[in-house]
Structure 1
Amino acid sequence: MDSVELERFMDKVRKGPLEEDCWIWVGAISDDGYGRFSIRRDGRERMVRPQRLLFEHVTGRTLSPDVKLLHSCDVPICVHVTDGYGSHLFEGDDSMNMRDREQKRRSGRTHVGRRGLSRQELAARSRDLRKLILTVGWDREAISAVLNGVSPDQPRLFDWP
């Protein structure tokens, strides 16, 4: 990625205030809830996953198509990549992805938070998160509510001072 493309890319990323926070992609989002970014290579424009592009840029490694990038944070539009400790994305394969899914109970058998969401629901959740970040900014409580499928106008059991 050249400096112009990197600047255009980073313009679509909102980092949380803490070092360990997600870096939320606020650009285009696919129908599966993951980000999309347009690049030009060999005179042709194509769409890529932003997390893969940034991972390759930061680590200097080219990912083959069979390599999956797994999210430790389980936020599909997170692009928090570092070359080492603190990265929210790590390389895996299909079996690692399935194990991670089972361990985190995202197998579709349960409907708690992001778990068991359909493709359309996951896309809607990602778009809601993007809209929140763009309109409100980084609000940890509001982000948590969106990620857990809680409506902002839902009554709360307790109001903390």
Structure 2
Amino acid sequence: MKGPEPDDGWFWTGAISDDGYGRFWVKRDAGQQSVRPQRYAIELATGQVLAASTPLLHSCDIPICVHADADLQPSHVVPGTHPENMLDRFQRGRYRNRYTLRLGVLPRPVRVQRSLDLRAVILDHGWHPELISAALLGVEFSHPRLF
């Protein structure tokens, strides 16, 4: 589902794996291969197949967003390097281990559930900004908000 504004996300509504990201199968020269939709989207947009070792940097931090553009400026996913990916995840607060704990890092089951909830909202209601926001925040739509 593609949002109406140029900066909006494009959300994958297919299968979601146990890490909260989309996943599907494609036929390649070596047979069938499991692919993340955002990787496939950037390959379609740029016309180049990414090396398996090339990470994608995700500017919106929504695991099921596949907003990819050949012009990398508006794209929500862009190819990067491993050091760039590690720096990006640390700066965005998506990193924790036994030595560091960053507030705001979602445990894997929570990230998966939010992806499933977001997909359900989109499939049930289409592009509905208030419901999408509630799903991304992990709250009920009827939950009172300050703003």
TM-score relative to the length of structure 2: 0.87
Structure 2 matches for 1:9-20, cutoff 5 A?
14-20=1-7
Distance 2:94 2:31 in 1: 37
Cα deviation, 1:32-81, whole Å, max 9, x if unaligned, reads 01111221234833321111112112101221111101111111111111
Distance 1:34 1:22 in 2: 14
| 1:107 pairs with 2:95 | yes
Q: Which ranges of structure 1 fall in alignment gaps of 5 or more residues? A: 1-13
Distance 2:92 2:119 in 1: 23
| 1:133 pairs with 2:122 | yes
Structure 2 matches for 1:1-161, cutoff 5 A?
14-42=1-29, 44-84=31-71, 85-108=73-96, 109-111=101-103, 115-157=104-146
Q: Amino acid of the residue matched to residue 101 of structure 1?
A: R
TM-score relative to the length of structure 1: 0.80
Size of the aligned set, in residue pairs, is 142
Q: Larger strand proportion, structure 1 or 2?
A: 1
RMSD: 1.7
Distance 1:97 1:155 in 2: 36
Cα deviation, 1:13-32, whole Å, max 9, x if unaligned, reads x1001111100000000100
Cα deviation, 1:95-151, whole Å, max 9, x if unaligned, reads 21121112212224344xxx3111111111101000000001111122112112222
Distance 2:32 2:51 in 1: 19
User: CA 1:43/1:102 → structure 2, altered by over 3 Å: closer, same or farther?
Assistant: closer
Q: Which moved more, 1:38-47 or 1:125-134?
A: 38-47
